[in-house]
Chain A
Amino acid sequence: MTTAIEVRIPTILRPYTKEQKVVAASGEKLSAVIADLDVQYPGLGERLLENGALRRFINIYVNDEDVRFLGGLEAPVKNGDSITILPAVAGG
């Protein structure tokens, strides 16, 4: 298994990753990386996706670019990329 993509996990999701701040995952697009994360850390996928789409108030970046501008779940990723997950800071 290749574990060449670094994924930075926000505090609120670290209970899923045994409090690890950075984990490794693999996949050729974001959807595959999320699927891999969910296999390694069950339940994490559901915190990122809702009805098969990215959650509105979770921000995911590939190498500092918001994935909304990279094709969303179809965003291509490759070995050496860094993915950052951040919950939106938002409210009413």
Chain B
Amino acid sequence: MTLKISRAHADALLAQSRAEYPDEACGVILGPVGKDSALRLKPMINAAHSPTFYEFDPKDLLALYREIDDNDEEIVVIYHSHTETEAYPSRTDIAYAGEPGAHYVLVSTREEIAPATEFRSYRIIDGVVTEEEVSISE
């Protein structure tokens, strides 16, 4: 599998991650059901407001699922930032990964690599992490 994402979305979620530093930033990219097409970026509030944890607010989460149901959309990408560690799923990321169909995107805002940006994508299914290629379209 390859994650296909637009330059605009990739830039936007990196900008969000830097803006929300030192907290982790998070959000989703939505697309029409069954198309694996990441079209609509939706930043979410990190209800944990933490540099080491993120969680969508349960109320926002329900509203998100209602919205995508109404629009015949699905969650194509779930993204979040790591503030001081590499862009690789943590143990908690793996334990709580609940969308087997989603691309899990991680970006790192740690200072020594932030100028170069670390932007990686994974599938996380039944506790197994598989990194995939990222194809950014201009």
Interface residues of A (CB under 8 A from B): 10-12, 57, 59, 61, 64, 66, 68, 84, 86-92
Q: How far is the CA of A88 from the CA of B65 in the complex (A)?
A: 12
Q: How far is the CA of A89 from the CA of B95 in the complex (A)?
A: 11
Known contacts A66-B58, A66-B59, A84-B62, A92 near B53 by CB under 8 Å: yes
Closest chain B CB from A20 CB (angstroms) = 15
**Closest partner residue, chain A, to B48 (CB atom):** A90
A63–chain B nearest beta-carbon distance, Å: 11
User: Measuring CB to CB, which residues of chain B are less than 8 angstroms from any residue of chain A?
Assistant: 26, 28, 44, 48, 52-56, 58-59, 61-62, 65-66, 78, 80, 89-101
Contacting pair A90 B53 (CB below 8 A): yes
A91 to B92, CA, bound (A): 5
Kindly identify which residue among B55, B59, B78, B98 contacts A12, using a CB–CB cutoff of 8 Å.
B98
Cβ contact of B98, chosen from A64, A66, A68, A88, cutoff 8 A:
A88
28 CB-based A-B contacts, threshold 8 Å:
A11-B99, A11-B101, A12-B100, A59-B62, A64-B66, A84-B62, A86-B58, A86-B98, A87-B96, A87-B99, A88-B55, A88-B56, A88-B61, A88-B98, A89-B26, A89-B44, A89-B55, A89-B56, A89-B61, A90-B53, A90-B55, A90-B92, A91-B89, A91-B94, A91-B96, A91-B97, A92-B52, A92-B93
> Closest A-chain residue to B47, C-beta based?
A90
> Which residues from B are CB-within-8-Å of A11?
99-101
Taking A86-B98, A89-B61, A91-B89 as known contacts, 10 extra A-B pairs with beta carbons closer than 8 A to each other, sorted by chain A number, are: A11-B101, A12-B98, A57-B98, A68-B58, A86-B62, A89-B26, A90-B55, A91-B53, A91-B90, A92-B90
**Which A residues touch B100, using CB under 8 A?**
11-12
Q: Which of A64, A86, A90 is in CB contact (< 8 Å) with B96?
A: A90
User: For A86, what are the chain B residues with a Cβ–Cβ distance below 8 Å?
Assistant: 58, 61-62, 65, 98
What B residues does A64 contact at CB under 8 A? Answer: 62, 66
